[in-house]
């Protein structure tokens, strides 16, 4: 009998050890953070090749920035388009263009990726200031997505405008990261490029919506979701105060000034990173009512945080939202 | 024939399983204690501060591109000073709850208090 017991113990121990090794290999979780696209990128990946995935994510974001999206990196596709007033672009970039032109159109111009000249005058990110009125009017005159034409992989521009994918770049990065994770068979991942987040893989995720009055880790509501992309546009980011007024970085393409309405922030949930990012900006400019309509046109879900301390959502989000800050009230429209 | 319900060998097996479960539980749950702040520069952890053990104000000067001062006291940690242009890091104020984060982008320096109960915060 003693022998039998010893055998059982040995089998259990071996099984336990095998399980631990198997589990540790398959469910290895690696966290890394780095700086790219003028923001902090943090990745937590679970899977067989978690470490390699994290390294690759860093490469994807850096490459996307310097080779495609950056307005200032010489040699990037956007840099070349702006310098030469149009030209050939890669197939993927043409896809982004096409999607973003669609958002410009469907939002009635509330989203516009040709405002580079206007936002330069505000100097957000360095020493922000209120621009000279005439200079602003002039820059606004030389902007407008309707002056950009896409034919296959060729972009032509009928004015000296400055193309700027800043309002969608982080989302585009999330989509490219998602493609990589699918190919590498990662099990689960949470990747944040600045304030835009990719939730990838199995199980449920919990995302906090930033408290406009708190630091960047504090939140006022939680969303419980499956895999998706979540982006927020908030007036508390990149803002400055002058003569008792707050000026923030989300510009209304119609006026060239910060969008001025009841909204403090908009969070958009979508399968597409590009859409969640671009739509959060568009919805901010449009305000609550029109914002909901636009988001729904794309099958995306939106949550607005307003100046009168309301969190406004539609019933498509009612089941997954939990308010954690008692100063705010949930309003389902 | 031995008719005892539990044999010696079974006991050994049970003991091994219980011990394994206890060890697993210990490693899994031991982190749910004091708030710990982690300071990273360019993604690399340079300092870990157990906020509860800080009795008197301490100042930390991480090696960054320019002068940055981080202070901790009374369970809180914050950017006290930075030579960066926008000083958004200093304006963030004091951090004390799990998940609280302050970032100095120009200095690539991040302070995070561990133990957030969400996967990520969108902003």
pLDDT in tens, chain A (333 residues): 667 777 777 777 777 777 776 776 678 899 999 999 989 999 999 999 999 999 999 999 999 999 999 999 999 999 999 999 999 999 999 999 999 999 999 999 999 999 999 999 999 877 889 999 999 999 999 999 999 999 999 999 998 899 999 999 999 999 999 999 999 999 999 999 999 999 999 999 999 999 998 877 789 999 999 999 999 999 988 888 898 999 999 999 999 999 999 999 999 999 999 999 999 999 999 999 999 999 999 999 999 999 999 999 998 999 999 999 999 999 999
Q: Does B23 touch chain A (CB under 8 A)?
A: no
B21 within domain boundaries: no
DSSP string, A140-155: HHT--GGGEEEETTEE
**Into how many domains does chain B fold?**
1
Neighbours of A305 (CB within 10 A): 26
Residue A15 CB-density burial (10 A; 0-12 exposed, 13-18 middle, 19+ buried): exposed
- What pLDDT sits at residue B27? 58
Helices A91-106 and A273-286: crossing angle in degrees, nearest 10, is 30
- Report the phi/psi class of residue B93: left, alpha or beta, with left for phi > 0 and alpha for psi in -120 to 50: left
B15 within domain boundaries: no
- What pLDDT sits at residue B32? 47
Query: Are A262 and A288 within 8 A, CB to CB?
Result: yes
- What pLDDT sits at residue A7? 75
B96 within domain boundaries: yes
Q: Which 27-56 residues of chain A touch chain B by CB within 8 A? A: 32-35, 38-40
Query: Are A313 and A330 within 8 A, CB to CB?
Result: yes
**A12 or B91: which leads in pLDDT:** B91
Q: Does A17 touch chain B (CB under 8 A)?
A: no
Average pLDDT along chain B: 86
Q: Does A209 touch chain B (CB under 8 A)?
A: yes
| Full set of structural domains in chain A with CATH | 50-332 (3.10.520.10)
Q: Does A203 touch chain B (CB under 8 A)?
A: no
B109 within domain boundaries: yes
pLDDT tens digit sequence for B28-76: 544 445 789 999 999 899 999 999 999 999 999 999 988 999 999 999 9
- What pLDDT sits at residue A27? 81
- What pLDDT sits at residue B26? 61
Which whole-number Å values give the CA distances from A114 to A140, A153, A163, B56, in the listed order?
9, 18, 4, 52
| CA dist., res. A295 & res. A333, Å (int) | 14
Of B16, B112, B123, the CB nearest to A195: B123
Indicate the pTM of the whole model. Answer: 0.87
- What pLDDT sits at residue A177? 98
- What pLDDT sits at residue B2? 54
Domain range for B60: 36-113
- What pLDDT sits at residue B25? 61
| CA dist., res. B19 & res. B65, Å (int) | 49
B100 within domain boundaries: yes
| CA dist., res. A229 & res. B122, Å (int) | 10
Q: Would the CB atoms of B121 and A218 count as touching at under 8 Å?
A: yes
B93 within domain boundaries: yes
* CATH number, position B90: 2.60.320.10
B123 within domain boundaries: no
Q: Which 111-140 residues of chain A touch chain B by CB within 8 A? A: 125-127
Which whole-number Å values give the CA distances from B117 to A206, A214, A325, B35, B95, in the listed order?
8, 16, 14, 13, 16
Q: Report the gap between the CA of B24 and the closest CA in chain A (Å).
A: 10
B79 within domain boundaries: yes
Interface ipTM above 0.95: no
Q: Report the gap between the CA of A135 and the closest CA in chain B (Å).
A: 24
- What pLDDT sits at residue A178? 98
**A1 or B99: which leads in pLDDT:** B99
- What pLDDT sits at residue B4? 66
Q: Would the CB atoms of B123 and A234 count as touching at under 8 Å?
A: yes
Helix, strand and coil content of chain A, in percent to the nearest 5, comes to 40, 30, 30
């Amino acid at each position: 009998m003693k022998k039998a017991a010893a055998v059982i113990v040995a089998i259990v121990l071996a099984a336990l050890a095998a399980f631990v090794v198997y589990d540790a290999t398959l469910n290895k979780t690696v966290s890394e953070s780095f700086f790219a696209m003028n923001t902090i990128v943090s990745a937590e990946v679970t899977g067989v090749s978690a470490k390699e995935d994290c390294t690759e994510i860093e490469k994807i974001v850096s490459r996307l920035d310097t080779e495609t999206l950056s307005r200032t990196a010489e040699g990037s596709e956007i840099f070349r388009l702006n310098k030469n007033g149009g030209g050939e672009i890669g197939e993927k970039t043409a896809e982004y263009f096409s999607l973003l032109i669609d958002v410009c159109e469907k939002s009635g111009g509330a989203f516009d990726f040709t405002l580079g000249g206007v936002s330069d005058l505000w100097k957000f990110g360095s020493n922000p200031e209120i621009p000279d009125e005439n200079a602003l009017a002039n820059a606004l005159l030389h902007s407008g997505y309707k002056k950009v034409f896409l034919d296959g992989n060729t972009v032509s521009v009928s004015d000296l405008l400055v193309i700027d994918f800043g309002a969608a770049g982080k989302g585009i990065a999330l989509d490219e990261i998602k493609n990589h994770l699918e190919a590498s068979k990662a099990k689960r991942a949470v990747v944040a490029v600045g304030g835009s987040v990719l939730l990838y893989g199995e199980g449920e995720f919990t995302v906090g919506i930033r408290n406009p009055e708190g630091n960047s880790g504090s939140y006022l509501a939680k969303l419980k979701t499956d895999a998706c992309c979540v982006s927020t546009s908030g007036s508390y980011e990149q803002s400055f105060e002058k003569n008792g007024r707050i000026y923030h970085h989300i510009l209304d393409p119609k006026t060239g000034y910060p969008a001025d309405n009841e909204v403090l922030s908009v969070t958009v949930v979508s399968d597409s990173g590009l859409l969640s990012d671009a739509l959060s900006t568009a919805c901010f400019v449009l305000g609550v009512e029109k914002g909901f309509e636009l988001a729904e046109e794309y099958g995306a879900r939106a949550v607005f945080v307003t100046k009168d301390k309301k969190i406004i959502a539609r019933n498509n989000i009612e089941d997954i939202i939990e308010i954690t800050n008692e100063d705010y009230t949930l309003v389902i429209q | 024939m031995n008719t005892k319900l539990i044999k010696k060998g079974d006991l050994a097996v049970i003991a091994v399983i219980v011990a394994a479960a206890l060890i697993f539980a210990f490693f899994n749950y031991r982190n749910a204690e004091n708030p710990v702040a982690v300071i990273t520069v360019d993604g690399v952890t340079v300092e870990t501060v157990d906020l509860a053990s800080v009795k008197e104000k301490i100042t930390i000067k991480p090696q960054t591109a320019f002068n940055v001062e981080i202070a901790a006291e009374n369970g809180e940690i914050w950017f006290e000073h930075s030579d960066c242009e926008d000083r958004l890091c200093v304006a963030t104020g004091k951090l004390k709850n799990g998940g609280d984060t302050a970032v100095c982008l120009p200095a690539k320096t991040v302070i995070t208090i561990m133990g957030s109960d969400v996967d990520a915060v969108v902003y």
